[in-house]
């Protein structure tokens, strides 16, 4: 799928320069959770990490909560990498224009 999309984008723009090396994985559970809760994915990651562990709930040491998407951290990390790549490209473009 990635190859097909990358080829289509390259064909549409006539160059690979518009492609990012980083990508955001498809993860339906965190996508649905952020929409339902009205939070950003990194905020969801914080909620997931702050919540009780499954074994704490099992032992009765913590109250069980609705299912938390554990992949939220991975998606947040993907978005962070894309943002870093975007900022690096913007900085490079500014430096070229300043010269």
Contact 86, 65 (CB under 8 A): no
Per-residue pLDDT of 45-56, as tens digits, reads: 998 888 777 787
**Measuring CA to CA, how many Å separate 18 from each of 28, 31, 85, 86?**
26, 25, 12, 11
Q: Which of 43-57, 61-75, 79-93 has the highest mean pLDDT?
A: 79-93
| Domain map (residue ranges) of the chain | 24-98
Q: How far apart are CA 89 and CA 84, in angstroms?
A: 9
Q: Which pLDDT value is given to residue 64?
A: 67
DSSP conformational letter for 61: S
Contact 72, 30 (CB under 8 A): yes
**Contact, 44 vs 72, CB < 8 A?**
yes
């Amino acid at each position: 799928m990635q190859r097909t999309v990358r080829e289509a984008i390259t064909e549409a723009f006539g160059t690979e320069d518009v492609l990012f090396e980083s990508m955001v994985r498809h993860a339906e559970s965190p996508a649905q959770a952020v929409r339902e809760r009205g939070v950003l994915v990194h905020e969801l990651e914080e909620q997931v990490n702050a919540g009780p562990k499954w074994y704490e709930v099992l032992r009765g040491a913590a109250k069980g909560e609705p299912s938390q998407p554990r992949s939220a951290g991975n998606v947040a990390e993907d978005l962070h990498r894309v943002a870093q790549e975007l900022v690096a490209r913007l900085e490079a473009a500014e430096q070229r224009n300043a010269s």
